[in-house]
Structure 1
Amino acid sequence: MSRKVIFLFCALSIFSYFGVIFMVISPLSTTFYSRKYVESYPLRPPSVQWCKQQRWRSPAARGAVALVSFPGSGNTWLRYLLQQLTGIVTGSIYMDYGLRLHGFPAENVSDGSVLVVKTHESPPIEPGRFKAAVLLIRNPRDAILADYNRLHKGHIGTAPKSAFRKRSAERRSTDWSNYVATQLAAWESLHKQWLTQFPGPIHIVFYEVLVNDTRHTLQGILSFLNQTATEDEMNCTLANREGIYRRKKKYNNFDPFTRSMYDELNTVRNKVLKIVLRYQKQHSNVQKSSR
């Protein structure tokens, strides 16, 4: 083999090696969120003012608690609030480099060293993967719209109006209408699976209640997680509740949902609410009988 061939082979190997490293450490490489997510942040993003110094739990053997939600339901915002209140980092089954750069150092950590673990997936098959779960439920209309915005402009941006009018390849329907249909089915399936198949205890949180009564909702979550917080810590969290993780409403007089979409949204939402009520009734009876 000639020296020229050997040289080219070595150069190619070195290039490939460092190329892989660059992809791993680059904030533009994610396993769940698109490149647009990172690009949606300003070059110099606002710094997060934490109420407490962030730390990891110890020991890690206590077991992991899932923070379950459908995409667009406020998972990132609730993680932020919990980190503000407890000072304990929250994890995720995903590796989102954008979030890791903006206040969530435990991305891709899903063990007991973190307070809760973000997931948008079905209950895991592995027994004992999660010992308990916090299930965050948001109105499917708002969750689907929020996630559609995320796909186009990341966690804090809003999709342009043109994105809701773009036609599919068959020209028979819009990308938006197809997206609503598929995501509504996924919204129903996710909540139904966790409420009927997960063997551990579940604490149910409604996003709308979290927004309107943040204090008592957070207190309920703390109790479920066996955590405590002082009044000063709670007041600091509430004073900094917005952070940089809540999307600002851009269009005041624009509704992308049609009447038929609303009919389907209400039908599915009511089906899931019935499952929620059934779950709460069953487990309320279990708690009473165990006293």
Structure 2
Amino acid sequence: MRRLLLVKVFHCVFVFIMSGLFLFILTNINSANTKMYDSTQLYSNTRINGDTSDAAKTYSTYQPWFENRTKERETHSNCSYRNVSLSDKKLPLTGLVSFPGSGNTWTRHLIQQMTGIGTSSVYCDRKLEESGFPFECYHERMRQTILVKTHHRKSIPFFKKIVFLIRNPYDALLSLAKFKMSGHTQNPSAYRLRELIERTFETLLEWYLDLVIMICEQFEGPVYVLQYEMLKHNMSSELNKISKFLGTKVTDGDIDCTVKLQEGNFHRNTTHRKHCQLLNFIYQGEILSRIQDTAVFAENMLNAAYNLNLSLRGPEKRIFSLRL
């Protein structure tokens, strides 16, 4: 009986001690979380010199860009990332028109760094606004930005001239599917990607071709056709041509630094082999045949309309080489 009583007393003391310890740990965790949250809020609401105006916000949005680029700055010590601003005069309203997944965000980054003038958008993506595109939502001051992003044909008639960014449909559709499933930088599973592309394939092809037809047959202003693949592989030359089309004065040094610091804030890491395997996995049978026809139709229309010699069938060799 006495032994049983001692066991019960020991059990009560043990429970009391453990309960106290648990409450102590829980309190400290909550306290740490609160401090973390407060510091995050403090950082996101901080403006230069305590100023909360829109002008100060423009420059504070660039802080995240510098945090991850120490290594690049050391490598290219003569170049630095620009804080972009609005033009001090009104510019021709110029569209950066593209099918989603064609590299629009990266192209905007390059042009901002080359010219020092901000870009805008017919949309309003707060994540982009906070990550290097401070004029993303400045709709009332679009005429003071160098380019205005759009993915839709309804916006096209409002522009005076257009930079039409075109990417081969194989990679463009795949990039859009990745973005829809995992945002700007993650890589979703191959099976989920194929399922999404198969389910939306007809709509996406129609959207892709609709932009090409609208640009070639209905827009009457000046157009510069910028092929994404050419921008990647011959960047200096393409940036020089774009600057002339936009009517902006840039130096060779501006272009050189843009090339050296070309990496944007939204980049999805993968390897060439993995990418080829993914293309091979997704594009098969009728879908492959349809996207081949789309690539041929689009390149023929653009080549005829603007006297070009571009090819939108680059990934075909990579796809078929894995099947030999």
Could you state the TM-score of these two structures normalised by the residue count of structure 1? 0.73
Structure 1 88/48 Cα, relative in aligned 2: closer, same or farther at 3 Å? farther
Q: Is 2:240 the counterpart of 1:236?
A: no
Q: What residue identity is the alignment partner of 1:267? A: D
Higher helix share: 2
Partner of 1:8: none
* Among candidates 286, 304, 310, match of residue 278 of structure 1: 304
Q: Write out aligned runs for 1:142-291 (5 A).
A: 142-164=171-193, 174-249=195-270, 251-252=274-275, 253-254=277-278, 255-281=281-307
How many residues end up aligned between the 2 structures? 230
* Among candidates 55, 68, 71, match of residue 85 of structure 2: 55
Q: Deviations over 1:67-108 (max 9, x none)?
A: 000000000000000011111101000100110110001113
For structure 1, the 5+ residue unaligned runs are: 1-24, 26-43, 166-173, 283-291
Contact 1:81 1:237 in 2 (8 A): yes
* 1:48 positional shift: 7.2
Aligned-residue Cα RMSD (Å) equals 2.3
For structure 2, the 5+ residue unaligned runs are: 1-43, 45-63, 70-79, 309-324
Partner of 1:136: 165
Between the aligned residues of both structures, percent identity stands at 29
* 1:190 positional shift: 1.3
Q: What residue identity is the alignment partner of 1:76? A: T
Partner of 2:123: 94
- Tell which has more relative contact order, 1 or 2 (C-alpha 8 A, sep 6+): 1
Partner of 2:153: 122
Q: Deviations over 1:180-203 (max 9, x none)?
A: 222012101111112211121110
Partner of 1:34: none
Contact 2:177 2:196 in 1 (8 A): no
Q: Distance in 1 between matches of 2:190 and 2:138?
A: 36
Contact 2:110 2:258 in 1 (8 A): yes
Q: Distance in 1 between matches of 2:287 and 2:295?
A: 12
Q: What residue identity is the alignment partner of 1:256? A: I
* 1:160 positional shift: 1.9
* Among candidates 91, 96, 112, match of residue 83 of structure 1: 112
Structure 1 65/125 Cα, relative in aligned 2: closer, same or farther at 3 Å? closer
Structure 1 278/164 Cα, relative in aligned 2: closer, same or farther at 3 Å? same
Q: Distance in 2 between matches of 1:194 and 1:48?
A: 38
Structure 1 125/263 Cα, relative in aligned 2: closer, same or farther at 3 Å? closer
Could you state the TM-score of these two structures normalised by the residue count of structure 2? 0.66
* 1:125 positional shift: 7.2
Larger radius of gyration: 2
